[in-house]
Amino acid sequence: MKLLAHLLVSTLAVLIVAYVIPGVAVASFWSAFVLAVVLGILNTVLRPILIFLTLPLTILTLGLFTLVINTLLILLASWLVPGFIVTSFLQAFLFSIALSLVSSFMFAFLPGKSAPQ
């Protein structure tokens, strides 16, 4: 049940951010749902490998290179998911930042989270 709630929140975050950022289009709710699943898989499997391989560059840029990695994962997801279109690297960059902010805000209101002590 928790996984489904996370997927729905991620899907809503994708829809909200795609509506706000110009140059990013999501065809339907199901495209956004598939995108949320694909991004979850990419962030679980591929992101740690990319961060490890680019560790010297990430350290040199004080962690800012992870934003580039997130952008590349968004571009890869746009290539993999039909119905999700990103027009440029800059739009993917803005989409990744906005998606992080919106989803973090929305996840803060999920029930069942324990209050920080």
pLDDT digits (tens, 9 = 90+) for 43-81: 999 999 999 999 999 999 999 999 999 999 999 999 999
Estimate the share of the chain in helix, then strand, then coil, as percent rounded to the nearest 5: 75, 5, 20
pLDDT at 1: 77
Decide if pLDDT at 88 tops 90.
yes
Q: How confident is the model at residue 107 (pLDDT cuts 50, 70, 90)?
A: confident
pTM for the model stands at 0.88
Q: Which residue has the tokens 């956004």?
A: 32
82 phi, psi to nearest 5 deg: -70, 140
